[in-house]
Structure 1
Amino acid sequence: MPASDLTLLTEIALRAGEIARSFVGNELSIQQKPDDAGPVTAADLAVNTMLEDRLREARPDYGWLSEESTDDDTRQGKERVFVVDPIDGTRAFIEGGKTWSHALAVVENGEPVAAVVYLPMMDKVYTATRGQGARLNGLPIGVSATKQPDEANVLAVKHSADPQFWTHPVPNFKRHHRPSLAYRLSLVAQGRYDAMFTFRRSWEWDIAAGALILAEAGARVTDRRGSPLRFNNPVPQTDGVVGANPKLHAALLDRMA
Structure 2
Amino acid sequence: MDDPAAPDDLPMMVEAALDAGEIAMRFRQGPLGTRDKGDGQGPVTEADLAVDAMLKQRLRGIRPQYGWLSEETPDDPARLSHDRVFIVDPIDGTRGYANGGTDFCHAIAVAEKGRVIAAVAHFPALGLTYSASIGRGAWIGGDHLTPSKQKLADGARILAGKRQMTAPFWPGGVPDAKVELRGSLIYRLCLVAQGRFDASITFRPAWEWDVAVGDLILREAGARITTVSGEVPTFNSPSAKLPGIVAANAALHPDLMARLAAE
State the match for 2:258 in structure 1: 254
User: 1:148-207: per-residue Cα shift (whole Å, max 9, x none)?
Assistant: 001110111222112110013311111111111111110111100001010010100011
User: Is the CA contact (8 Å cut-off) linking 2:192 and 2:249 kept in structure 1?
Assistant: no
Match of residue 123 from structure 1 = 127
Q: Tell me the number of residue pairs that the alignment of Structure 1 and Structure 2 aligns.
A: 256
Q: CA–CA distance in 1 between the matches of 2:87 and 2:43? A: 20
1:224 aligned partner: 228
**2:70 is matched by which residue type in structure 1?**
S
Structure 1 window deviating more from structure 2 (227-236 vs 3-12): it is 3-12
| Cα distance, 1:16 vs structure 2 | 0.2
**8 Å contact kept, 1:201–1:238:** yes
Point out the more displaced range, 50-59 or 27-36.
27-36
| C-alpha displacement of 1:34 | 2.4
Match among 12, 17, 22 for residue 18 of structure 1: 22
CA RMSD, 1 decimal: 1.2
For 2:174, the equivalent position in structure 1 comes to 170
Q: Are 1:103 and 1:210, in contact at CA under 8 Å, matched by a contact in 2?
A: no
Aligned residue for 1:78?
Answer: 82
Shift of 1:247: 2.2
Moved more, 80-89 or 20-29: 20-29
Q: How far apart in 2 are the matches of 1:180 and 1:67?
A: 14
Relative to 1, partners in 2 of residues 1:184 and 1:90: Cα closer, same or farther, differing over 3 Å?
same
Aligned to 2:50: 46
Deviation at 1:3, TM superposition (A): 7.3
User: 3-state SS of the aligned residue for 1:74?
Assistant: helix
Whole-Å Cα distance in 2 between the matches of residues 112 and 3 of structure 1? 14
Q: How does 1:30-45 map to 2 (within 5 A)?
A: 30-45=34-49
2:10 maps to 1:6: yes
Query: Match of 2:16, SS?
Result: helix
Question: TM-score by structure 2 length?
Answer: 0.95
Paired AA for residue 15 in structure 1? D
Q: Distance in 2 between matches of 1:68 and 1:24?
A: 19
1:243 — aligned with what? 247
**In 2: Cα distance, 1:222 partner to 1:190 partner:** 18
Corresponding residue to 1:209 among 204, 213, 226: 213
Deviation at 1:120, TM superposition (A): 0.2
**Partner amino acid, structure 1, of 2:206:** S
> For 1:102-122, what per-residue CA distance to the aligned partner results, in whole angstroms no more than 9, with x for missing partners?
111000000000000110011
CA distance in 2 between partners of 1:58 and 1:182 (Å): 25
Contact 2:193 2:249 (8 Å CA) reproduced:
no
With normalisation by structure 1, the TM-score equals 0.97
> Which residue matches 1:137?
141
Off by >6 Å, runs of 4+ in structure 1: none
Q: Which SS does the other structure have where 1:149 is aligned?
A: coil
Q: Can you give the 5+ residue segments of structure 1 that lack an aligned partner in the other structure?
A: none
Contact kept in structure 2, 1:154 and 1:195, CA below 8 Å? yes
Contact conserved, 1:156 with 1:176, CA < 8 A, in 2?
A: yes
Conserved? CA contact 2:172–2:258, under 8 Å: no
Instruction: Return the alpha-carbon distance in structure 2 between the equivalents of residues 158 and 236 of structure 1.
Output: 26
Q: Which amino acid aligns with 1:52?
A: K
Task: Write the distance in 2 (CA, Å) between the matches of 1:200 and 1:157.
Answer: 10
Q: Which of 61, 64, 68 does residue 64 from structure 1 map onto?
A: 68
> SS of the residue aligned with 2:197?
coil
Q: How does 1:84-95 map to 2 (within 5 A)?
A: 84-95=88-99
Once the two structures are aligned, what percentage of the paired residues are identical? 49
SS in 2 for 1:127: strand
